[in-house]
Structure 1
Amino acid sequence: MHTNPTSIVYEYPFNERIRTLLRLEDLYEKFSFFLHQPDPMQHHVALSTIFEMLEVAGRADLKSDLLQELERQKHTLISFRSNPNVQADMLDRILEDVDKASSALMASQGKTGQNVRDNEWLMSIRGRTIIPGGACEFDLPSYHAWQKNSPEKRFADISAWFAPIAPLFDAINIVLRLLRESGVTTKVIAQAGSYQQMLQGKIYQLLRVNVSQEMGAIPEISANKYMLWIRFMSQDGDMKPKAFESDIPFDLTLCNF
């Protein structure tokens, strides 16, 4: 039985706004993974990741940006109701998800992560984790004692500290999902490992490249509103990049709300 080879999706944001959302999405995936592990060291990574989230999400207008985008997407989705080719039940589910995320984000009070910033104990840990090796037991004995708690207790504590930030990530998840689903995928070939396409000033927000893992080809992407350029590279045993000189078939998706 024929099976499709494993593929890798590479994404390229066209602007700083989408770049920030992708970084936060990546941090959330790491946080979620390490939170659900039992070891104290893994929970240390989960907690440290919350601190990283606060650094990236520090822009004061991120919350308002997401609320505006959710409202805009809601109106766009409602306009699809009259389209006979749209499944009404699926549309209703998406609209319900948008409403829930918007309501929860609107109900969240204050600056993102203010509950963490107001916690002196957490801030002492954050200050030490910036220093390489700074969270040793002799630097933070109270943190060392906390790490000796049961996995369930640590999980509950970290979950409680993250809870006020969760609505932000629910909103990010929906916005990025709708953005990715907006794209039209085309099959193209990078001749001798290189591909160019004129965009003629059309605004896109996200570029997705889906390439077979078996090819061993890694895209280096450069793009603006006028053109995009993709150059595929390979890596030798020392991980040094080398220009790919063979033709590379791949799926290209340009996304825009």
Structure 2
Amino acid sequence: MILYEYPFNERLRTYLRLEQLFRRLGELIPRTHALDHHFALVTIFEIMDVAARADLKADVLKDIEKHKHQLDAYRGNPSISEAALDAVIAQLDRCFAALNTQAGKSGHSLTENDWLMSIRSRVGIPGGTCGFDLPAYYDWQHRDAAMRQRALQEWASTLAPLAESIYLLLKLLRDSGVAQKVAAERGQFQQNLPQGRTFQLLRMRVDPALGVIPEISGNRLIVSVRLMRMGEDARLHPCTEDAAFELTLCA
């Protein structure tokens, strides 16, 4: 099954973008090729760009506090495991403390590294990190892979509190949804959203054998899915057949 996710607000869009970047970074650092480490460094710079948003850290801390208050309300409920509840709240506390005690924005300390910033200033230029542009960086790429990995891990560690917080918040959000089987008649699906609940994320699982690509739109009142197919002309065309998929709304 192919999983598609659609965020209903800008804050969650930022969280999902960061999650994608952190997962990419986690894939690239353990590799040994210099090209992989170049793109690991590019990913660190991308994370820094996203994390530079003024209110991001405050939003994450606020969301952690919100989840903690919601979970605290479950104490004393006989159908809830106190041990499991304590474990999740402890995770939230750790993430909050680690992020809150970090000075400035995530990755801010890296901006004091002139060598890294010289690379960052050239990365956006097509071919801007050639050996004749940045000989010191070219030399670094030819050094021992283990040394490069240690350096990347050290730089990435400044982003770890933000990464752990994002991972935990998205896991809690995804776990809040209940999957349901739905059908798109002639490739079209619409569902009114219940009033009184603010959904933040739509998750959609599609069987790849159907050969369809969803175009998702939505707001606090309604969600709409239009199924498309890639044609021989390399363009998307509306699907006119009935198709079933799995839909999850997460609040």
TM over 0.5: yes
Correspondence 1:126-145 to 2 at 5 A: 126-145=120-139
Aligned partner of 1:120 in structure 2 is 114
Give the whole-Å Cα distance in 2 for the aligned partners of 1:83 and 1:217: 43
1:239 positional shift: 3.3
Matched, 1:87 2:81: yes
1:233 counterpart residue number: 228
AA at the equivalent of 1:42: D
2:2 touches 2:208 (CA, 8 Å); kept in 1?
yes
Among 9, 26, 33, the residue aligned to 2:20: 26
Name the structure 2 match of 1:178: 172
- Give, in angstroms, the shift of residue 179 of structure 1: 0.7
Give the counterpart letter for 1:15 in structure 2: N
Q: Which amino acid aligns with 1:30?
A: R
Letter in 2 for 1:60: A
Aligned residues: 250
- Kindly state the Cα deviation for residue 111 of structure 1 after the two structures are TM-superposed: 2.2
Quick check: 2:51–2:105 contact (8 Å CA) kept in 1? no
Task: Report the RMSD for the aligned CA atoms in angstroms.
Answer: 1.3
What CA distance in whole angstroms lies between the structure 2 residues aligned with 1:87 and 1:180? 19
Helix, strand or coil: the match of 1:111? coil
CA displacement 1:151-186 (0-9 Å, x = unmatched): 111011011111111101111111111111111221
One-letter amino acid matched to 2:216: I
Check conservation: 2:228, 2:237, Cα contact below 8 A.
yes
Instruction: Say which of 239, 242, 245 aligns to 1:244.
Output: 239
Q: Equivalent pairs: percent with the same residue?
A: 44
SS at match of 2:73: helix
| 3-state secondary structure, aligned to 1:82 | coil
How far apart, CA to CA, are the structure 2 residues paired with 1:89 and 1:203?
A: 29
Mapping for residues 47-58 of structure 1, pairs under 5 Å: 47-58=41-52
Partner SS for 1:117: helix
- 2:211 corresponds in structure 1 to 216
In the alignment, structure 1 segments of 5+ residues that lack a partner are 1-6
User: Bigger shift: 237-246 or 183-192?
Assistant: 237-246
**Distance in structure 2 (CA, Å) of the matches to 1:99 and 1:230:** 38
* Ranges in structure 2 where 5+ consecutive residues have no aligned partner: none
In the alignment, which of 146, 149, 161 is matched to residue 143 of structure 2? 149
Q: Point out 4+ residue stretches in structure 1 off by more than 6 angstroms.
A: none
- Find the residue that maps to 1:138 and give its secondary structure: coil
Q: For residue 122 of structure 2, what is the amino acid of its counterpart?
A: R
State the secondary structure of the residue aligned to 1:204.
Answer: coil
Displacement of 1:96 in angstroms is: 1.8
1:48 alignment partner, SS class: helix
Q: 1:35 aligns with which of 15, 29, 34?
A: 29
**1:89 shift after superposition:** 2.6
1-structure distance, mates of 2:130, 2:232: 35
**CA offsets per residue over residues 25-56 of structure 1, 9 Å max, x none?**
01111111111111000000000001111111
